[in-house]
Structure 1
Amino acid sequence: MHGVSGGDGCLGAHRRAPFTGVVGVAGAGASVNRLADRLGSITRIADRLVRLNCSGRVAADTQEVRVAEDRGGTVSARDRVIRTARSLFIERGFAATSLQMIAGALGVTKAAVYHQFPSKAEILAAVLEPAIKQMRSIPRSVEQAGSRADDFDMVLDGLVDLVMEHGEIAAMIRRDAAVAEFVTADESFASLTAQLDRALIGEHPTPAARAALIIAGGGLMMTGADPASSLIDRATLRRVLSESVRRLLEPYRPV
């Protein structure tokens, strides 16, 4: 921000050199009076221009700290940070992405990013939130159904839907150790995954059941990491994913 204290700020320089010493000079005549009037008008105009310039600087600084809205006006400053960070986390990894990189990709200062999020960890939490929220909705849907006989199918379908919607995020959790550590540090997330696992392979799974779940889960989560998946139409990809996971886990389905 441009200071204005002590008369040395945006307005101070103008005030140190006012148009004085002409108005009221004795015996100068009408022409001098007209000149004085003109100079007085110039003084007022100059003063207004300086004030407008100061206001503009303040507005510009404030706008930068807030992070400018998308040119289309449809994406919030916060969402722009999330989208940009998401792309960088997927491309470079969480640990290798700095706040300065995020700011540079946005074309703003690091302070502008800090205005939206106080830390990189909070940006990661916001990036992961939609996928985690959808994942948490799976057991709620199962509970609302009220029939444990259908738990296996509902959880399996829910996980396939999750990967279809958030494949890149699922892959990032799987392959980025820093992101995986961030997610698993949340006790509620560990409880959630245990609940989903029980629905798929039961309370006391055999070693073979655990191995099948590891293979099925790994295949699901890494689907979004393969660029070739974008060449497959979504209906076909979803069907094959569902059939493959079901084939692996069906022998260990809880009864």
Structure 2
Amino acid sequence: MTAVAQADSRGPERTRQRLLDEACRLFALHSFAGTSLQMIADTLGVTKAAIYHHFKTRDEILTAVIQPAIDELRAVIAVAQAQRTAAARADAMLSGMVDLTVRHRALIGMIGMDAGVTNALQSHPDIVELIQRPAELMRLDGSPGAEINATIALAGIATAASSPVLQHHDQDVLRDLMLAAGRRVLGLRTRRAAS
């Protein structure tokens, strides 16, 4: 295959990714409900028809925007479920969620804080069920207190990662501090650093 043919075959993928990146930026800036397909097209300098070539609705764009994080979440859940004890499952789920959240800071904040995103995702029961699974795996027992602690830990992680006040922190520092705070909220033992 010639270099020109390779470039042409990757063109639609690059265009699609640019569209998704810009949509995510606009969703974060204006909210999901406040972002139209026309706004996305205008920002990219393309026609609305060009957007329709890739996606028919904003909901389809949203689903594509969150898909990489959803795929990672499935893997994190599988690792947590494989642990033998409730504490090990909770710790693995917490660690995985912190890592995922740090990698997808803006996206996780958008999913957790934008009511329009929450409403749009209701039409995807498989995604809703998947998003609820971490809280279930982070409960150390069936008590209401454990459920509340898991919910607070997850909400705190999402809020901290997407907070403009904390954007200056290095990812490793943010990760370590969020993990320590999550362990305290859940009542898990804090791991000592290797010397």
Q: TM-score, normalised by structure 1?
A: 0.64
Q: Percent identity?
A: 34
Aligned 8 A contact 1:167 1:223 in 2: no
Distance change (3 Å), C-alpha of 1:165 and 1:134: same
1:231 alignment partner, SS class: coil
Q: How many residues align?
A: 178
Aligned 8 A contact 2:112 2:155 in 1: yes
Q: Pick one of 22, 28, 48 that aligns with 1:90.
A: 28
Distance change (3 Å), C-alpha of 1:174 and 1:108: same
**Partner residue in 2 for 1:134:** 72
1:140 deviates by: 1.4
- Give the distance between the partners of 1:189 and 1:114, measured in 2 at CA: 24
Does residue 1:124 correspond to 2:62, yes or no?
yes
Distance change (3 Å), C-alpha of 1:232 and 1:194: closer
Cα RMSD (Å) of the superposition? 2.2
1:146 deviates by: 5.0
Unaligned 5+ runs, structure 1: 1-68
Q: Pick one of 156, 160, 180 that aligns with 1:243.
A: 180
Q: TM-score, normalised by structure 2?
A: 0.82
Aligned ranges 1:99-178 → 2 under 5 Å: 99-143=37-81, 145=82, 147-148=84-85, 150-178=88-116
1:75 deviates by: 6.5
1:213 deviates by: 2.3
Rg comparison, structure with higher value:
1
- Give the distance between the partners of 2:16 and 2:92, measured in 1 at CA: 34
1:180 deviates by: 1.2
Higher relative contact order (CA 8 A, sep 6+): 2
- Give the distance between the partners of 1:193 and 1:146, measured in 2 at CA: 19
Aligned ranges 1:47-62 → 2 under 5 Å: none
